[in-house]
Structure 1
Amino acid sequence: MNANADVIAWLLDSDPALRWQVMRDLLEAPDTEWQAERGKIERQGWGARLLAAQDSDGQWDGGAFVPAGFTEQDWSDTGQPWTATCWSLTQLREFGLEPECACARRTTRQVGINSRWDHVGQPYWAGEVEECINGRTVAQGAYFGVDVAPIVQRLLSERQPDGGWNCERANGSRVSSFDTTINVLEGLLAFACSNEDTDAIRNARQAGEEYLLRRDLFRRLTTGEPADPDYLLFIHPSRWRYDILRALDYFRESSLFRNVEPDIRLAAAIDHVRSRRLSDGRWPLDKRPRGRVWFEIDQDPGQPSRWITLRALRVLKWWNSYDQTDGR
């Protein structure tokens, strides 16, 4: 499934944070070209705006998970906030900020010194107790060159009997959740890509992947019905939430890292992505998480989305490269 010239031009008419990924993943531009575009993130557009919002101590909005002074009543009134340190670091990683640039090195150092988790004040790069939070922290640390191996070891010990993870484990849950599992899988894959892919990490990823694959990425095992209707919607930014396009993008990265073909059990999710393509070759944004943000980086729900379109096109490009007959 190829993108037409108008769609590519529309994607390129955007921010450096999105444009470099179009150049690399869809256009297969020479490394020097997309790397030059990526280098603009620190100085231009969304990346520069987010870095400008940073506190003097390296945090964002005065807190690790929630902003300083944010109350339960604020949460009830406005929804979960997305302006604190962990969400801002995740956003910079997804933008593709160069991890070796001076501002990234300074940020990771300051966050390590000054940021403490809301739970009981754990140092930021030591992780928290919740698997969703720790999965994202591993992904951030692996990307920005911080030693997060102790958090990885903790996550490996917290896998549920059915193969995945659940952030409610500490409250007694004994089954996995889609949302937690994708957060942990992304973190473990990022760690494997930048460190050693040990047998223990590989086995844990394969177990977590199998948890999702057995369910076609969205179904209940018991009934075959969607476990949550929102899993079939396209959500951006994902934050902690799961949807099948996020999962497919993960399986694409895992497949490329391991140099293996896509699993046939992804076919139902792939078919759903194909079915949602608009007549002009783009994909819509279905939902945006409620809550305070620094600024918006996508179109309004119901409108064609550059981020969703980029992710859909690169997933289908990967799938079709192994699917010559288009029969999956």
Structure 2
Amino acid sequence: MAQDIEPGPDQRVVDWLLGTDPAIRWQVLRDLVDAREAEWRGERERVETEGWGAELLSYQDADGQWAGGAFIPGGFSWERFRNEGQPWTATCWALTELRDLGLDPGSEAARRTVRLIGENSRWNHDGQPYWEGEVEECINGRTVAQGAYFGVDVAPIVERLLSEQMADGGWNCERERGSVRSSFDSTLNVLEGLLEYEQAAPGDDRIAGARAAGEEYLLERRLMYRLSSGELVDPEHLQPVYPPRWQYTVVRALDYFRAAARHAGAAPDPRLHDAVEALRAKRREDGTWAVERRHRGAAWISYGEVGEPSPWLTLQALRILGWWEVG
């Protein structure tokens, strides 16, 4: 149950986070306790060999993929997809998780993975090479984020995304099926990719402009509401979940805006207020945030059960609130 408690990270919560996984610890050291860079970088190196990072890497196929496929596992039928739910075990989902975990792009495992995926992985859509992307904005946004993070040249995918921005400022992977309005999900997927790319390869004003327009699409709606009626877009957006997969959540959007503002050296936009308060209201009496739902479908790793305190969500929420409160 949410509770009114003092703002900021409780030391007991920080200690709990530091007792979890290297992927959590290095980000706590960097983002919450302002540790020396050498300290958090040393902890980050352990992601490759310990905890969730090492476990996820252990499931990798000899050809560099996961589950024998790019978007869905090899041999996985659409009938199973409908009956069992979307599987989260294929290559694109594993790479997104490794980026979240903070696997060092310079590590041996990361370099090997990037090379083998480039050689062997093909998109289910039409057999396109993995690092060339495919046709959906959501998928291409995530691929740009992965490629930019792991040091792959994904400029052609970026060019495609820039050409697909809609008149209202956002993106929608239903565009090719006739949609003329952006979606929260697609827009956030693309924004995350463009920010990662801009951080890796700064200097292209077109990317900054595209991000600004996409951000404005979400900010006009205060991250939660319909522009037409002011009603909440989707109650699920307020339910904390990790991993979010392709879906939009308020905590995921706020963490993006935190990262984007830090990249630009900008203050938080006041239109984020309602979203921040919605996040704050989810804080439990013990100072943590809990997973409120799970995505249907197979996954390699469970990062927390529904109703239990989540290290991931607590880390994200505390760094969002810390950023917001400092201004």
TM-score with structure 1 setting the length: 0.97
Distance in 2, Cα, partners of 1:33 & 1:55? 32
1:282-311 Cα deviation digits (max 9, x unpaired): 1111112111011212x2112221111110
Distance in 2, Cα, partners of 1:255 & 1:308? 20
- Hey, what does 1:194 align to over in structure 2? 200
Aligned amino acid, residue 231 of structure 2: E
1:250 equivalent in alignment to 2:256: yes
1:320 equivalent in alignment to 2:325: yes
- Hey, what does 1:325 align to over in structure 2? none
Distance in 2, Cα, partners of 1:308 & 1:165? 26
Aligned amino acid, residue 168 of structure 1: E
1:81-130 Cα deviation digits (max 9, x unpaired): 00000000111000000001111111101100100000010000000000
Pairwise CA distance, 1:28: 0.7
Distance in 2, Cα, partners of 1:312 & 1:52? 29
Structure 1 runs of 4+ aligned residues shifted over 3 Å read none
Distance in 2, Cα, partners of 1:31 & 1:107? 26
1:304 equivalent in alignment to 2:309: yes
1:198-249 Cα deviation digits (max 9, x unpaired): 1110110000000000001010011111111111111110110101110000
Pairwise CA distance, 1:196: 2.1
Where in structure 2 are there 5+ consecutive unaligned residues? 1-6
Equivalent residue runs for 1:231-242 within 5 Å: 231-242=237-248
Aligned residues: 321
Distance in 2, Cα, partners of 1:271 & 1:293? 31
1:103 equivalent in alignment to 2:109: yes
**Between the two proteins, what is the percent identity of the paired residues?**
56
- Hey, what does 1:207 align to over in structure 2? 213
- Hey, what does 1:326 align to over in structure 2? none
Pairwise CA distance, 1:197: 3.7
Where in structure 1 are there 5+ consecutive unaligned residues? 323-328
Distance in 2, Cα, partners of 1:196 & 1:126? 20
Residue 47 of structure 2 aligns to a residue in which SS? Answer: coil
1:179-211 Cα deviation digits (max 9, x unpaired): 000000000000000002411101100000000
1:13-39 Cα deviation digits (max 9, x unpaired): 111011111111001111111111100
Distance in 2, Cα, partners of 1:46 & 1:79? 23
Q: Which has the higher contact order (CA 8 A, sep 6+)?
A: 2
Distance in 2, Cα, partners of 1:237 & 1:197? 31
Equivalent residue runs for 1:89-168 within 5 Å: 89-168=95-174
Aligned amino acid, residue 306 of structure 1: P
Distance in 2, Cα, partners of 1:70 & 1:52? 21
Query: What is the Cα-based RMSD across aligned positions, in Å?
Result: 0.8
Residue 40 of structure 1 aligns to a residue in which SS? Answer: helix
Distance in 1, Cα, partners of 2:49 & 2:282? 35
* Matching residue within 70, 78, 82 for 1:76: 82
1:20 equivalent in alignment to 2:32: no
- Hey, what does 1:274 align to over in structure 2? 280
1:290 equivalent in alignment to 2:296: yes
- Hey, what does 1:65 align to over in structure 2? 71
